[in-house]
Amino acid sequence: MQKRILGKTGLEVSAPGLGCMGLTFGYGPATNEKDAIALIQKAVELGINFFDTAEAYSQGANEALLGKALQPYRNKVVIATKFGFKNGDSAQGVDSRPERIRTVVENSLRLLQTDVIDLLYQHRVDPNVPIEEVAGMVKVLIAEGKVKHFGLSEAGVASIRRAHAVQPVTALQSEYSLWWREPEKEIFPVLEELGIGFVPFSPLGKGFLTGAINENTQFDKTDFRNVVPRFSEENRKANQSIVDAISKIATAKNATNAQIALAWVLAQKPWIVPIPGTTKLHRLEENINAVKVELAQKDLQEIDAAVSKIEIQGARYPQHLQKRVGK
């Protein structure tokens, strides 16, 4: 498996990693525990060593699942988790008070069945707690040996700089894909300057770029895509053109849409490590094989030319959630 380095502190991880949120949260009913554990362990066997979870994914149930699945492989894998919501529930708003961070870390260590968290992210910037206090608390936890690396999620340029000045930030996690390229404008230059890695979630556009979703797709009532403007029936129909453009390139390269979308993300910078999620073994294998798809400069130019002509319809978050990002 191809490896990449996140940040200047030498955190080496597989490219890609595995986003585990969807196994218990966000995309409908939780996956059967036995099947979820089998998927996570299969990922390890196939060379993935980087796993992403959070307290807010089912209030710790996702962490407990990961802890159970990865316990036999603990010394071979890198586990990332996150703090930052009241009572571990994103619906209750943000909470990054230092005492809360410590409580979350103690809980996460227990649930993950480990004595150290490899990468600890602030899930969303808390406007009520100075980012310096957040970074300072993580610095204390690193000194205590409970955490190895510090990360931020969906943070803006000012917060990244201020946090990094207190405790070096190893990685920023934010959405990035062929249909959400906003980080290229302001975020990438800062990450490059400071030597911070980038971990894109939803590199397959929450499944849309794979071609498996169309205007007629019915989501489970608990699937959060139901409230995402970009996933309204009207916008799915309007955005089909980007899937068609990717499909054309995929056919020419003898690859799948997902593999082209992931290979494109991987080709952007050597310090980018996408974390596609899945609940299906065949999708896991498909995603891992994206590292074998080589996109030459000509291919990348062709993809850019095709995609730049398309205006994506719909916001990536409903308004109340959009307020939490880029702070």
List residues with catalytic annotation: 57
Alpha-carbon dihedral of residues 231, 175, 287, 13, nearest 10 degrees? -160
Assess contact for 40 and 68: CB atoms under 8 A: no
**Amino acid letter, residue 212:** A
Assess contact for 253 and 260: CB atoms under 8 A: yes
Say how far apart CA 25 and CA 41 lie, in whole Å: 19
Assess contact for 15 and 275: CB atoms under 8 A: no
User: Which residue in the block uniquely carries the two structure tokens 């990468």?
Assistant: 119
Residues ≥6 apart with Cβ < 8 Å to 234? 215, 313
The strand pair at 18-19 and 3-6 is best described as unpaired
Assess contact for 175 and 201: CB atoms under 8 A: yes
Q: Residue 222 CB: number of other CB atoms within 10 A?
A: 12
Assess contact for 114 and 147: CB atoms under 8 A: no
